[in-house]
Structure 1
Amino acid sequence: MSSNEKHLKRKTLKLSHPNPLFEKWLQEWKDEAASRNSDTQYAFAKALQSLKKYPLPLKTGKECLILENFGTRICLLLDRKLADYKNLHPGNDLDITLSREPSLDNEAEAPMKKKPKTKSPKKSSKLYIPTLRSSSYAILVALNQHLKAAGPPGEMTKDELQKAAQPFCDTSMFKPLPNSYYSGWSCVGQLVNKQLVKRQGNPHRYSLTESGIDLAEKLPVVDEESSLCIPNISSPPKLTNHPRIRNENKTCTTKSPQKRIEKEVERPLNILQPVIPLGTEEISSDHHLTQNSESTSTSSEWEEVIFPPGSFQTILLVDTQEIHKGDELVKALEAQGTILEVRKLKVGDFAWVSRNAVGQELLLPFIVERKRLDDLASSIKDGRFHEQKFRMKQCGLPHCMYLVESHGQRQYSLPTSTLLQAAANTQFIDRFAVKYTANSHETVAYLATFTKVISRKFSNKTLLGCKKNMLPTFDIQDDCISLISFMEFNKTSGKTRKYSVKEMFIKQLVQLRGLSVEKALAIVGRYPCPRSLITAFQEGGNEKLLADIPVGNLSRKIGPVISKAVYELYNKSILS
Structure 2
Amino acid sequence: MKRIKIVLDRPNRLFESWLEEWRNEAVFRNSELHDHFAKALDSLKRYPLPLESGKECIILQHFGTKLCLMLDKKLEEYRRQESIRTVDACVFRTGSSNEDHTATLRRKSVKDCQLVEVQEKTRVSKQTKNTKKNARERLINANDIASKKANRQISFKSNTFDIILLVDTQETCGGKMKPQHNATIMELTQLKVLFEVHRLKIGDFTWIARCRKTNDELIIPYIIERKRMDDLSASIVDGRFYEQKFRLKQSGIENLMYIVENIDKNSRYSVSLSSLLQASINCLVQDGFTVKYTRNHKDSMLYLSYITKILIQIYKDKRLVGCEKEHFIQTDNISSAVCLMEFKEFNKVSSKQRTFKVSEMFIRQLLQLKGMSIDKAMAIVERYASPQILITALENSDKNGEQLLANIQVNKKQWLGPAISKAIYRLYTMNELR
Structures share fold, TM-score greater than 0.5: yes
Alignment correspondent of 2:421: 563
Distance of aligned partners of 1:372 and 1:522 in 2 relative to their CA distance in 1, 3 Å threshold? same
Residues 33, 41 of structure 1: 8 Å contact kept: no
Structure 1 vs Structure 2: percent identity of aligned residues?
40
Specify the code of the residue in structure 2 equivalent to 1:341: E
> 1:426–1:434: 8 Å Cα contact kept in structure 2?
yes
Distance of 2:238 and 2:354 partners within structure 1: 21
Contact 1:474 1:481 in 2 (8 A): yes
CA contact (8 A) 2:145 2:323 kept: no
Aligned residue number for residue 265 of structure 1: none
Question: Which consecutive unaligned segments of at least 5 residues does structure 2 have?
Answer: 1-123
- Deviation of 1:41 after TM superposition, in Å, equals 2.8
SS of aligned partner of 1:413: coil
Which digits, 9 at most, give the CA deviation of each residue in 1:468-514, with x for residues without a partner?
01111310112111101111111111112654443332122112333
> Would you say the 8 A contact 1:362–1:483 is kept in 2?
yes
Residue of structure 2 aligned with 1:361, choices 211, 214, 217: 217
- Please give the alpha-carbon distance, in whole angstroms, between the structure 2 residues aligned to 1:406 and 1:382: 20
Report the alpha carbon displacement of residue 526 of structure 1 after superposing the two structures with TM.
Answer: 2.5
Find the residue that maps to 1:316 and give its secondary structure.
strand
Q: 1:40 to 1:536 in 2, by over 3 A?
A: farther
Partner residue in 1 for 2:105? none
Q: Does 1:393 align with 2:393?
A: no
Q: What letter matches 1:332 in structure 2?
A: E
Deviations 1:178-216 (A, max 9, x none): xxxxxxxxxxxxxxxxxxxxxxxxxxxxxxxxxxxxxxx
Provide the residue aligned with 1:527 in structure 2: 384
Q: Distance in 2 between matches of 1:33 and 1:352?
A: 34
Question: 5+ residue gaps in structure 1?
Answer: 1-31, 48-68, 77-251, 256-299
1:343 CA displacement: 1.3
Amino acid at match of 1:446: Y
Once the two structures are TM-superposed, the CA of residue 34 in structure 1 deviates from its matched residue by 6.2
Question: Which residue of the partner structure matches residue 407 of structure 2?
Answer: 548
Alpha-carbon distance change, 40 to 530 in structure 1, aligned in 2, over 3 angstroms: farther
Moved over 6 A (4+): none
Q: Does 1:486 pair with 2:335?
A: no
Work out the CA distance in 1 between the residues paired with 2:344 and 2:386.
30
> Is the deviation greater in 446-455 or in 508-517?
508-517
Note the C-alpha offset of 1:313.
0.5
Which residue of structure 2 aligns with residue 237 of structure 1? none
Letter in 2 for 1:375: D
Residue 304 of structure 1 corresponds to 153
Deviation string for 1:145-192 (max 9, x for gaps)?
A: xxxxxxxxxxxxxxxxxxxxxxxxxxxxxxxxxxxxxxxxxxxxxxxx
Q: Partners in 1 of 2:154 and 2:224 — Cα distance?
A: 25
Quick check: which has more Rg, 1 or 2? 1
Query: Which SS does the other structure have where 1:476 is aligned?
Result: coil
Tell me if the contact between 2:142 and 2:337 (Cα under 8 Å) persists in the aligned partners: no
C-alpha distance in structure 1 between counterparts of 2:418 and 2:199, whole Å: 40
1:337 maps to: 192
RMSD: 2.9
- The DSSP-based 3-state class of the residue aligned with 1:570 is helix
Is this contact kept in 2: 1:501–1:529, CA < 8 A?
A: yes
Query: Which structure shows the bigger proportion of residues in helix conformation?
Result: 2
Q: Give the CA deviation at 1:351.
A: 0.3
How far, CA to CA, are the matches of 1:34 and 1:337 in structure 2?
40
Q: Kindly tell me: are residues 529 and 461 of structure 1, through their superposed partners in 2, closer, same or farther at Cα, counting changes over 3 Å?
A: same
2:164, 2:208 within 8 Å by CA — same for their partners in 1?
A: yes
CA contact (8 A) 1:312 1:356 kept: yes
Alpha-carbon shift at residue 405 of structure 1 (Å): 0.7
Q: Give the secondary-structure state (helix, strand or coil) at the position aligned to 1:475.
A: coil
Q: Any conservation in 2 of the 1:404–1:434 contact (CA below 8 Å)?
A: yes
Deviation of 1:556 after TM superposition, in Å, equals 4.6
Residues 1:312 and 1:565: Cα distance change in structure 2 (over 3 Å): same
Q: Partner letter of residue 368 of structure 1?
A: I
Structure 2 CA distance for partners of 1:382 and 1:477, relative to 1, 3 Å: same
Aligned residues: 302
The alignment status of 1:71 with 2:71, answered yes or no, reads: no
Determine helix, strand or coil for the equivalent of 1:574: helix
Match of 1:376 among 223, 232, 235: 232
**In the alignment, what sits opposite 2:14?**
none
Cα 1:308–1:402, aligned 2, differ >3 Å: closer, same or farther? Answer: same
More relative contact order, 1 or 2 (CA 8 Å, 6+ apart) = 2
Q: How far 1:569 sits from its partner (Å)?
A: 3.7
Letter in 2 for 1:307: F
Q: Measure the CA separation in 2 of the matches of 1:522 and 1:333.
A: 40
Change (3 A) 1:570 1:556: closer
Relative to structure 1, the CA distance from residue 501 to residue 33 in structure 2 (aligned partners, 3 Å threshold; closer, same or farther) is farther
Q: Does the Cα contact within 8 Å between 1:308 and 1:463 map onto a contact in 2?
A: yes
CA distance in 2, matches of 1:569, 1:383: 19
- Normalised to the residue count of structure 2, the TM-score between the two structures is 0.63
Shift of 1:407: 5.3
1:285-317 Cα deviation digits (max 9, x unpaired): xxxxxxxxxxxxxxx5xx211000111111111
Partners in 2 of 1:425 and 1:37 — Cα distance? 39
Q: Contact (CA 8 Å) 2:131, 2:335: kept in 1 or not? A: no
Separation in 2, partners of 1:498, 1:37? 49
Corresponding residue of 1:64? none
SS for the counterpart of 2:432 is coil
The question of whether the paired residues in 1 share the 8 Å contact of 2:135 and 2:337 is answered with no
Displacement after TM superposition at 1:571 (Å)? 3.5
2:22 — aligned with what?
Answer: none
1:380, distance to aligned residue in structure 2 (A): 1.8
Matched, 1:447 2:270: no
Q: For the Cα contact (< 8 Å) 1:550–1:558, is it kept in 2? A: no
* In 2, Cα distance between equivalents of 1:557 and 1:372: 31
